[in-house]
Homo-oligomer: A and B are copies of this chain.
Amino acid sequence: MSELRQDPATKRWVIIASERARRPHQFVATANRAPVPEYDPSCPFCPGNEGKTPPEVYAVRSDGSADSPGWSVRVVPNRFAALSPDTPLEIRRPDICTSIGGYGAHEVIIEAPQHNLTLATMPRAHVEQVVAATLHRLTTLGRNRSFAYVAKFRNHGAAAGTSLVHPHSQIIATPIVPAEVRNEIEEARRFYDDRVHCVYCTIIAEEMEEGRRVVLEAPEYIVITPFASRFPFELMIIPREHASSFLMGHHQSTSWIAEALHRTVRLLYLAANNPDYNLVIHTTPLRDTCEDYYHWHVEVLPRLTTPAGFELGTGMYITTAVPEETAEYLRDFVPKVDEDP
């Protein structure tokens, strides 16, 4: 029997279509990825090609001067930036169509010198450096009073919208709060107004009690297959401590954040054969901290299926994967995630 489910946090509905339901292993990525060399002389992110990117704004270096080899993590403005801090912040409202000059920031975190590493296959100690770079850049950009939101995301594979193989993630700072972020926060606020409790804290408590969708747990976080998952193998990392912002109170916490990210993407890598995915940090807007009612978290969205007209037109997803079955399948792979790659 099919089932409609509503996400308690966003109020988005999904349809879990049992008539076409498939078992978790049937969603595993089957495409063979072409072998990738450790170094690609034509890749702008490989060491030696530092001149092919704009000058670095952050780097972890054991050696060398800025914009030369010797780094282990490197952050640069995107060469084809969608938004730039050099564009004037000019708001135009000639009629009902509001537009703003492309003021903002768009940076790339080059996560490792090795062309063929991924977040799942790099050592955990290295993921800590990536998390530290992320926290540093988000904090720095967050100080700009003209920015309203800073998004951090990672696109892995062609189906997830990237053509560059070299391990990297991106940061975009915008002068406005995007509509979906606004909706998510609005729903969290409504929940808090009704119950005087954070909806994500409530989800943690109920998921821990229910147990069937919990994939990983640790003192600092849990990882679940969300009740109203939109995608097969969708995962959510929720920090146990209530904090609205990824940046708040976590400056000394690169260690557990790196552990949570690494274990989650490794689980996906091992159990679903290195699928294409998007990873997005959901955090509070910069000038409206939503302290009591919002709760930062991470969404990992594998791209093993293609959203169609129904999804694009209604925001409602049809999925043929059952979250409880996916969680059960994934738990078998947990013992392997902590073996260092």
Contacts and interface: CB of A to CB of B under 8 A. Distances in A.
Interface of A: 1-6, 8, 10-13, 15-20, 80-84, 87, 95-104, 149, 151, 153-155, 158-162, 170, 172, 174-176, 178-181, 183, 199, 202-203, 206, 210, 227-228, 278-282, 299, 301, 306-316, 318
Nearest to A169: B309
A2 B82 contact: yes
A309 B151 CA distance: 10
Given A13-B176, A301-B312, 11 more contacts: A4-B100, A15-B82, A15-B83, A82-B318, A154-B309, A155-B308, A180-B316, A181-B314, A280-B313, A282-B313, A299-B312
A15 B81 CA distance: 11
Contacts of A159: 306
B179 A316 contact: yes
B8 A96 contact: yes
Nearest to A280: B313
Contacts of A282: 313
A227 to B, nearest CB: 5
B19 A82 contact: yes
A12 B98 CA distance: 11
Contacts of A210: 95
A86 to B, nearest CB: 10
Given A179-B10, A203-B96, A280-B313, A307 B227 contact: no
Nearest to A12: B179
A13 B178 contact: yes
A332 to B, nearest CB: 25
Nearest to A82: B17
Contacts of A180: 313-316
18 contacts: A4-B100, A4-B174, A6-B98, A12-B179, A20-B80, A95-B210, A97-B206, A153-B308, A153-B312, A160-B306, A160-B308, A161-B307, A161-B309, A170-B309, A179-B315, A180-B314, A180-B315, A280-B309
Nearest to A180: B315
A106 B160 CA distance: 29
Contact of A80 (B19, B81, B311): B19
Contacts of A154: 309
Contacts of A279: 309
Nearest to A300: B309
B314 A151 contact: yes
A175 B13 CA distance: 11
Contacts of A5: 97-100
A298 B74 CA distance: 45
Nearest to A183: B183
A48 to B, nearest CB: 25
